[in-house]
Structure 1
Amino acid sequence: MGSASLRLVAEAVDDGLIRISITDPEADGSGIIVDSMSQQAMEEELDLLRRALDQTPMLVWRQDHDKRVTWANAAYLRQAETQMKAPVSWPLPKLMEPPAPVPGGGTSPARRASLEDNGVVSWYDCHTHKVGDETTMLFAVPADAAVRAERSLREFVQTLTKTFADLPIGLAIFDRERHLQLFNPSLIDLTGLSAGFLTARPTLFDFLDKLRELRMVPEPKDYRHWRQQMANLENAATTGRHVETWSLPGGQTYRVTGRPHPDGAVAFLFEDITSEISLTRKFRAELSLGTNVLDGIEDALIVFAPGDQVIMTNQAYRDLWGQPTASMSASLGAWQQQIEPGPGFTALQERLAANPDGAVRDNGVMFGPNRQLLQWSVSPLGVGRQMVRFRSSDLPIQADDTFELQALAAVVRTG
């Protein structure tokens, strides 16, 4: 301590106890005036600071320039006794390796350290603060809760990653700065992008530009139009769920879904729907073929569903009765307005009003819209559906034959 000299006196007080006194020889006999109020305030403040440091849950200690522990709070001493399995003595043990002090003073960034006791690991965030040239204050803040949260988050991300890895749909998640943060293997399989390119965290537009180079986006009219289209895709994805269908030059069809994620992120899903589109086209072609076949039949056909809804007609029916109505009752009303009702039409009404799978009367004859003779038949199609067929007869109808034809319609049965 410079040129100052101190007097050290060691005295045996009791068995095993020694009292050591250090005094300043120059201060002996000199009168020192102390303000009692200031002395009391300093003692109270000192007691407060000591209690605060001893009651804090974090470990606080001081090291000299040789990294020897020269002071520690109560929490540090308790932890040292737990580690040593016995009461501690000077010099105090060093429990953990702190981060290096920041040159020029200041508090260092946190460094994670751990202590183990009977298999139980405790975690701390360690900080150092340089005090003068030879002393360093160190702080170890308990971080068990943070470590558990980080572990839970890591396990959750690993679970999601394993789930995403098994998905047949390509996934790409971009952060708020539009850098790629997460992708799954299916994205590589569907787009042909290399793993090295994706792990380099490209931006969204770099990602889309690369897809364009690989011909994995719809063929654009020009580059400016394509960039505007991709910008619209990003904007739509950030404001809400957005779905596009990409018909690729190679013949594949992709469904691209964009949806917003928390904190301004956006996710894109790439799904290969080529087989689905092919199946849909095949189904539509078969449906169109069936419709053309029905329209080629000369008999007028109409099919009713279990709820009396009209589900199908052919061209001959539309030529005979006009545009179809939505229900059976509306169809009967439309037929009745175009003909002179007779026994044959009444029999058709009774058949349609009966159990669809029953048989009140399956066929008969009636007058048509142009007073032609129509043969009708009702055929059950299963599941409550039934089909009505109208076939025109070539027999000429005279005006004075009305009564006889009505009587004939009541009794004649045709196949």
Structure 2
Amino acid sequence: MASIAQPVFAQAAADAAQSPHLFTSTQVVGFSVVIGVISAALLSTLWVVRQRGNLESEGREIRSALSDAQQRISQYQALIADKNRRIVIWDGDERPELLGQLPAETGAPQDNEFLAFGLWLKPRSASELDRAIDGLRQSAKSFDIVVETHREEVLEAQGRVSGGRAFVRFVALNNLRAELAELKIERDRLMSSISAFQGLLDSIDLPAWQRDTEGRLTWVNHAYGAAVDASSPDEAIAEGREILTTIARERIRAVATPESPFHDKISTVIHGNRTFLDVVDVRVPSGSAGIAVDVSGIETVRAELERTLKSHAETLDHLATPVAIFDGDQRLQFYNQAFVSLWQLDIAFLESKPDNAELLERLRAAKKLPDQLSWKTWKETALSVYRALDTQSDLWHLPNGQTLRVFATAHPQGGATWVFENLTEQVDLETRYNTLVKVQGETIDHLSEGVAVFGPDGRIRLSNPAFRALWGITEAEAKPGTHIRALGDACAPSYDRPDGWKTFAELITSFDDERRSSQGTLELFSGLVLDYAVIPLPNAQTMLTFVNMTDSVRAERALTEKNDALRKADELKNDFVQHVSYELRSPLTNIIGFTDLLRTPGLGDLNERQAEYIDHISTSSSVLLTLVNDILDLATVDAGIMRLNYSEIDLGDLLDDVSIQIADRLQESGVTLEITAPARLGSIIADPQRLKQILVKLLSNAANFSPEGASIALACQREGTDFVFSVTDQGPGISQEMISTVFDRFATGAKSGKRGGAGLGLSIVDSFVNLHNGQVVIDSQPGKGTTVICRIPSANLPSYAAAE
């Protein structure tokens, strides 16, 4: 219709164009409307015809699709009806729909409890499945996981979203797929374990690493990276930073095997410091893995422990106390020299590390242990220390008389230490101490001196009866514990002065750093005179002693008075002797002078009797003058004012002068003098007058006691700088009892000598020799004569002022 109408409309339009004035405008509008209506009708008819054809075609397609869908539904129903599958469908918030069944051996519920996964799935699988379903329903996240039931069955769970619905299909796997699923589960478990172990290794401060078969690093932890100064483990791997030296790595590769991992200490440098690592490296098919422990501190501690143990062993070895140490197997591990000396055991036996029981048996066999009624019981008791919690101690009284205190201490790690303390001396000292204390107590109680001992608190500890008797107090008033002030109050009736008990209290209770002692004398009201002494004792104690000196004081006072009287008498005697001696010298000098004058021929001749009288007067006067001079010399020596006039003396000239001076005396006695001396005696520094007096006195004494016709020997010699001479006579000799008195003044031997004397000659010799710092010795036996030996040392000072 459209094809026919189009040419007509076209022709009409053409005609209208050619003939513009043929139709009016109204006609044209009407004509246009009619044409439009007709066109619309034609178009509607054409659309209806075409739409009907489309509907018929879609109907045929829908019927075909329905037939296919019904066929698929039948197939799906047959598939779902299989007992190896179950599908859960969620459509929005509606209750889920369950299709199909799972085998009964899986333990899966057949009702609505199927969705309570925790009842029939393992906790890990149930929680994983719940999380996956939540992600499926909320975020449309598909999943494929494998879960395990409580019956060790494996299921595959697949989650999908389709048409706004969420589907989860549970499939019971066959054998092959079950094995694959189990392998997958095992793989997941292993991967989880590996991840956990790597996380653990990353968190510890011990360097750990993995290497491939070529020895290259494939994984390291953070501690390894820090040890090699890397910013991260990846940097350490990328740069191949090694914590061990090349030699150490080669050694590990050469030694480590799958059956025997490498384990040893290796020295390396970490952060610039020498470090010791305890390395464990394991060989695996894919390479190796290792870990290192820093044992530098342990090595230092170990070395220090070894030094300490060595020092302790050396210290114990030098101890006087025997020590023996046994290990957990009760075998001897250490002993010191004191232990060997105590038991006198063979070193080879001790070095064999004997058992403790064996050691005791050896000592028992040698009869070195105490005798026991039951040896087995005693030994079990001794060895029970290895099971004891506390230190055990016992006293062993050995057959050789020694007493030992034995300490046995168990070690926390096993073993025990035996210490043998020798108490023999201590027991002996304690016994002697107790005896001494008892004896001292008895002694103090029986002393005539009063004794009291006070503690640092001023309280009396002990006192004896003499103390209480001297002070007139009772035993109750001086009982132990009484304070010194109370004791002073009790003693006040006998003596109450500030220098008495108050002074004692200050000395005894003083807090001075240096404890003082004190001595003195007290006179009691009763007339008793006591000597007291305050003596510090150990342990801050103080002893107060009182000695009754009443009789001694009285005797001393009497003796003092007598001594003063004797001193005054002696002074009076000396004054008298000196005065008389000085007074006698002048008349004697005059007598001797006038006698010599009367002998002068110019005054006239004397008859024989007058000459004899003059000789007697001269001789007696000379003897008296000599006696007076000797008395004056001795008085001067006694007064301490005698001074020697030192000068250099030629000893040869001295002997000549002495021989001339003594010639008349020798002739009168009828004896001869023999002088024996070296040709050159030399000189000596001494007082010539006093030295000459010594020689003359000795020669005169020898001539007096020598028989008529005998000879006197004068032997002289030099010994170094000393002048030694001896005078020997042939007289009657001196007994041993008299030798000790020959130097005493006025000790005379007139009964045996030719001429009696005052007995001052040898006293003067002894005094003058001593003034020269010399020595004089007498050697004599009755009937064999006497020898007097003198030694005069040469002085160093040139001269001294001489006293007249």
Give me the TM-score of the superposition, normalised by structure 1. 0.56
Give the aligned residue type for 1:58: A
2:289 is the counterpart of 1:141: no
Q: Give the structure 2 partner of residue 249 of structure 1.
A: 399
- Choose from 344, 361, 367 the match for 2:522: 361
1:52-91 aligned at under 5 Å gives the runs: 57-61=207-211, 73=218, 78-79=241-242, 82-83=245-246
Cα distance change, pair 110–322 in 1 and its aligned pair in 2 (3 A): farther
What do the CA deviations read for 1:59-93 (whole angstroms, capped 9, x no partner)?
54577xxxxx56654569633885279xxxxxx95
The 8 Å contact of residues 460 and 484 in structure 2, kept in 1 or not, is answered as no
Distance 1:121 1:129 in 2: 24
Task: Quote how far apart the aligned CAs of 1:203 are.
Answer: 4.3
State the one-letter code of the partner of 1:151.
A
Give the letter aligned to residue 346 of structure 1: P
Which of 322, 327, 339 matches 1:170?
322
- Following superposition, the deviation at residue 269 of structure 1 comes to 1.8
The one-letter amino acid paired with 1:79 is E
What is the aligned partner in structure 1 of residue 543 from structure 2? Answer: 385
Please say if residues 58 and 142 of structure 1, whose CA atoms lie closer than 8 Å, have aligned partners that are also in contact. no
2:369 aligned with 1:208: no
Counterpart of 1:380, as a letter, is: A
Q: Secondary structure at the match of 2:522?
A: coil
- One-letter amino acid of the counterpart of residue 364, structure 2: R
Count of equivalent residues: 322
Q: 2:743 matched to which residue of 1?
A: none
The farther-off stretch of 48-57 and 74-83 is 48-57
Change (3 A) 1:360 1:387: closer
Partner of 1:310: 460
Structure 2 counterpart SS, 1:361: strand
- Letter in structure 2 aligned against 1:385: M
Partner of 2:277: 123
Alignment of 1:155-194 (within 5 A): 155-175=307-327, 178-194=330-346
Distance 1:183 1:355, change over 3 A: same
Q: How far 1:223 sits from its partner (Å)?
A: 1.4
Change in Cα spacing, 1:263 to 1:124, as seen in structure 2 (3 Å) is closer
Q: 1:199 to 1:332 in 2, by over 3 A?
A: same
State whether structure 2 residue 504 is matched by structure 1 residue 347.
no
Moved more, 109-118 or 283-292: 109-118
Q: Closer, same or farther in 2 for the Cα pair 1:52/1:128, shift >3 Å?
A: same
How has the CA–CA distance of structure 1 residues 358 and 157 changed in structure 2, closer, same or farther, with 3 Å as cutoff?
Answer: closer
Letter in 2 for 1:293: T
Give the % identical residues. Answer: 15
Question: Which letter maps to 2:407?
Answer: T
Assess if the C-alpha contact under 8 Å between 1:98 and 1:111 holds in 2. no
How many angstroms apart in 2 are the aligned matches of 1:185 and 1:169? 9
> 1:331, 1:204 → 2: CA distance?
63
2:266 to 114, 125, 128: 114
CA contact (8 A) 1:256 1:269 kept: yes
Query: Is the alpha carbon distance of 1:248 and 1:266 closer, same or farther for their aligned partners in structure 2, counting shifts above 3 Å?
Result: same
Whole-angstrom distance in 1 between the partners of 2:306 and 2:258:
30
CA shift, 1:130, in A, is: 6.8
Cα distance change, pair 216–301 in 1 and its aligned pair in 2 (3 A): farther
Structure 2 residue 413 is matched with structure 1 residue 268: no
Instruction: Return the letter of the residue paired with 1:387.
Output: T
Unpaired stretches in structure 1, ≥5 consecutive residues: 1-37, 64-68, 86-91, 103-107, 337-343, 367-374, 392-412
Once the 2 structures are TM-superposed, how far is the Cα of residue 380 of structure 1 from its aligned partner?
1.6
Q: Is the 8 A contact 2:454 2:462 kept in 1?
A: no
Quote how far apart the aligned CAs of 1:346 are.
1.0
Q: CA deviation at 1:53?
A: 12
Amino acid at match of 1:144: V
Aligned partner of 2:406: which letter? V
Q: What's the CA shift for 1:239?
A: 1.6
Question: How far 1:180 moved relative to its partner?
Answer: 4.0
Distance 1:235 1:58, change over 3 A: closer
2:390 paired residue number = 239
3-state SS of 1:354 partner: helix
Contact 1:128 1:138 in 2 (8 A): yes
Deviation by residue 1:8-56 (Cα, 9 ceiling, x = unmatched) = xxxxxxxxxxxxxxxxxxxxxxxxxxxxxx9xx99x9599699879978
Per-residue displacement from partner, 1:112-160 (whole Å, max 9, x unpaired)? Answer: 24255699464334354676xxx88563533534444433333332232
Partner residue of 1:325?
479
- d(CA) in 2 for partners of 1:326 and 1:51? 83
For residues 244 and 389 of structure 1, the distance between their equivalents in structure 2, rounded to whole angstroms, comes to: 49
Given that residues 98 and 127 in structure 1 are in contact (C-alpha distance below 8 angstroms), is that contact kept between their aligned partners in structure 2? no
- CA shift at 1:364, angstroms? 5.0
Greater fraction of residues in strand = 1
Q: Distance in 1 between matches of 2:218 and 2:396?
A: 67
Aligned equivalents of 2:288, 2:461: Cα separation in 1: 86
Q: Alpha carbons of 1:354 and 1:71: their partners in 2 closer, same or farther (altered >3 Å)?
A: closer
Q: Which amino acid is 1:156 matched to?
A: T
Determine the structure 2 residue equivalent to 1:293: 443
CA contact (8 A) 1:96 1:113 kept: no
Q: CA deviation at 1:209?
A: 3.4
Offset, 1:186: 3.0
**Per-residue CA shift, 1:314-347, capped at 9, x if unaligned?**
47779994576114548967996xxxxxxx8613
Greater C-alpha radius of gyration: 2
Per-residue deviation, residues 226-271 of structure 1 (Å, max 9, x unmatched) = 33652577777x424x544433222333333334544465432223
Secondary structure of the 1:161 match is helix
Higher helix content, 1 or 2: 2
Question: 2 CA distance for matches of 1:121 and 1:330?
Answer: 73
Change (3 A) 1:352 1:212: farther
Letter in 2 for 1:304: V
Label 1:301 to 1:188 Cα distance change in 2 as closer, same or farther (>3 A). Answer: same
Structure 2 CA distance, aligned partners of 1:160 and 1:202? Answer: 22
1:378-402 Cα offsets, whole Å, 9 max, x none, are 62242353125689xxxxxxxxxxx
CA distance in structure 2 between the aligned counterparts of 1:81 and 1:251, rounded to whole angstroms: 66
Is the contact between residue 397 and residue 403 of structure 2 (CA under 8 Å) also seen in structure 1?
yes
Change (3 A) 1:331 1:192: farther
Give the corresponding residue for 2:255.
98
1:220 to 2:372 alignment: yes
